[in-house]
């Protein structure tokens, strides 16, 4: 039995838009599961050594629910290019490098550690189409202490000469990969790149694989207007984009769909009815001039929304950076909607990066009892203040200032996986 006890100013996003604060409080986890949260340490724990963070802030660690691991080497590059040129000049050539396992190992090792240093412990990500590099990625994430899902990408059309599979290869390699996955914390997820990248035959096979192996699904939906037109041309049989996934069994309550910037009322209703997860990627949508997803409206309509950095369309791995981007994007949306829709508050955006994804991982919001302990510790003592600040003010300031170096420690499933010296 392994006991973990943290002491500090604890912040828990128990409800959307509200945080619960335990000033100078304790969290106890036994074998990774939270068994206590409160201000007075239970008597039976008093003999156990405490990780005492004094006046620092302890909050939930972050979940990045959409990102492209093989685009890590091109982070922050080519942002002046239009989407298609950006894909051809940077994305496809960069991803094609992951046929080289040594390059994959070196890159993914650094990548996994940069995720952890930024306080991200839960992920759902795209690999490239390479089976071996995908297994390397999963292994590096597992070793770094992360939990979540990784998908070998499927693409049998509209790629590049260096980055495309035949339909048969794509199916065979996917099944082989699923069978080779043997990781405790990093699981496979079925990953058609997006409708323009996958023939109907491949889509059908992927739907069957997902069903047979009980796997979740991730893809892209309604990111920008030219993509919508392209999908329409490819699928005259489908009235709307989402139906190109749904007809092959790829659109259900275990599906994550990135973007949904241009999902209209009807598509949003379909997302809601099917229980599909919307992964909002504000930074990427800003950089690629995709548009501003109506996140506030989606929440009001009852859709499930989580956040993704979407590197390398997004330019930062830090989910604090992406929380700030989410707030900004909601403010841009407010201007576009002529001040008729509301923006997201700091607590609301933080919830989308922490408690909302808990449900995808079958957990409750916040540091709920029974949840696995995923936490980060922030030391803001170097920041100057004019008056004594409340914990809530300090929380907001830390989210906004998003200083990577302020993250002093990161816990995943109760284990200390990062400790800044």
Interacting residues toward its own copies by CB under 8 A: 72-80, 93-94, 97, 103, 106-107, 110-111, 286-287, 289, 291-292, 315-316, 324, 327-328, 331-332, 334-336, 339, 343, 345-346, 383-387, 393, 396-401, 405
Least distance in angstroms from the C-beta of 116 to its own copies: 16
Of 1, 17, 3, 22, the closest CA to residue 367 belongs to: 22
Q: Smaller CB distance to its own copies: residue 62 or 344? A: 344
Q: Smaller CB distance to its own copies: residue 114 or 201? A: 114
Q: Smaller CB distance to its own copies: residue 4 or 287? A: 287
Of 7, 3, 4, 13, the closest CA to residue 395 belongs to: 13
Residue 160: partners with Cβ closer than 8 Å, 6 or more residues away: 88, 92, 93, 96
Q: Which helix (H) or strand (E) holds 229?
A: helix 225-234
Give Cα 354 distance to the centre of its chain.
10
Q: Which long-range contacts (CB under 8 A, 24 or more apart) does 224-231 make?
A: 224/83, 224/261, 224/262, 224/288, 224/289, 224/290, 224/291, 225/262, 225/291, 226/83, 226/84, 227/194, 227/196, 228/262, 230/196, 231/195, 231/196
Residue 229: partners with Cβ closer than 8 Å, 6 or more residues away: none
Of 115, 125, 188, the closest CA to residue 146 belongs to: 115
Q: d(Cα 104, Cα 135) in Å, to the nearest integer?
A: 10
Least distance in angstroms from the C-beta of 406 to its own copies: 11
Give me the torsion for CA of 39, 40, 41, 42, rounded to 10°: -130
Least distance in angstroms from the C-beta of 14 to its own copies: 18
Least distance in angstroms from the C-beta of 112 to its own copies: 12
Q: Smaller CB distance to its own copies: residue 81 or 181? A: 81
Q: Smaller CB distance to its own copies: residue 180 or 396? A: 396
Q: How many CB atoms lie within 10 A of CB 276?
A: 25
Least distance in angstroms from the C-beta of 418 to its own copies: 17
Q: Smaller CB distance to its own copies: residue 54 or 76? A: 76
Query: 3-state DSSP call for residue 355?
Result: helix
Least distance in angstroms from the C-beta of 288 to its own copies: 9
Q: Smaller CB distance to its own copies: residue 54 or 82? A: 82
Q: Smaller CB distance to its own copies: residue 110 or 211? A: 110
Least distance in angstroms from the C-beta of 24 to its own copies: 22
Least distance in angstroms from the C-beta of 382 to its own copies: 9
HEC-encoded secondary structure of 307-325 = ECCCECCECCCCHHHHHHH
């Amino acid at each position: 039995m392994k006991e973990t006890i943290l002491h500090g100013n604890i912040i828990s996003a128990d409800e959307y838009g509200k945080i619960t604060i335990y000033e100078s409080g304790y969290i106890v986890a036994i074998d990774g599961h939270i068994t206590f949260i409160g201000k007075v340490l239970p008597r039976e724990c008093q003999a156990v050594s405490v990780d005492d963070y004094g006046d620092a802030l302890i909050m939930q660690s972050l979940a990045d629910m959409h990102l492209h691991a093989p685009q890590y080497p091109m982070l922050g590059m080519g942002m002046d290019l239009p989407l298609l040129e950006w894909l051809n000049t940077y994305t496809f050539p960069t991803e094609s490098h992951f046929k080289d396992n040594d390059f994959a190992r070196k890159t993914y090792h650094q990548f996994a550690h940069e995720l952890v240093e930024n306080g991200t412990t839960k992920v759902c990500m795209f690999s490239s189409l390479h089976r071996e590099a995908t297994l390397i990625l999963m292994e590096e994430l597992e070793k770094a202490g992360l939990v979540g899902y990784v998908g070998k990408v499927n693409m049998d059309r509209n790629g590049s000469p260096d980055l495309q599979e035949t339909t048969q290869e794509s199916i065979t390699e996917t099944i082989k990969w699923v069978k080779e996955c043997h990781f405790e914390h990093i699981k496979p997820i079925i990953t058609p790149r997006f409708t323009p990248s996958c023939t109907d035959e491949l889509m059908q096979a992927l739907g069957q694989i997902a069903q047979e192996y009980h796997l979740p699904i991730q893809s892209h939906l309604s990111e920008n207007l030219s993509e919508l037109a392209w999908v329409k041309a490819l699928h005259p049989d489908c009235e709307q984009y989402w139906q190109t996934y749904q007809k092959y069994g790829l659109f259900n309550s275990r599906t994550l769909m990135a973007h949904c910037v241009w999902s209209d009322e009807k598509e949003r209703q379909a997302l809601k009815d099917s229980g599909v997860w919307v992964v909002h990627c504000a930074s990427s949508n800003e950089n690629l001039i995709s548009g501003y997803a109506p996140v506030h409206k989606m929440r009001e309509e009852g859709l499930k929304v989580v956040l993704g950095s979407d590197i390398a369309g997004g330019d930062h791995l830090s989910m604090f950076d992406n929380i700030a981007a989410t707030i900004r994007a909601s403010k841009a949306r407010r201007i576009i909607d002529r001040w008729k829709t509301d923006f997201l508050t700091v607590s609301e955006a933080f919830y989308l990066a922490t408690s909302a994804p808990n449900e995808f991982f079958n957990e409750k919001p916040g540091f709920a009892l029974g949840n696995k302990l995923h936490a980060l510790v922030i030391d803001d003592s170097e920041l100057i203040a004019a008056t004594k600040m409340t914990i809530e003010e300090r929380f907001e300031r830390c989210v906004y200032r998003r200083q990577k170096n302020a993250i002093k420690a990161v816990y995943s499933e109760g284990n200390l996986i990062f400790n800044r010296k």
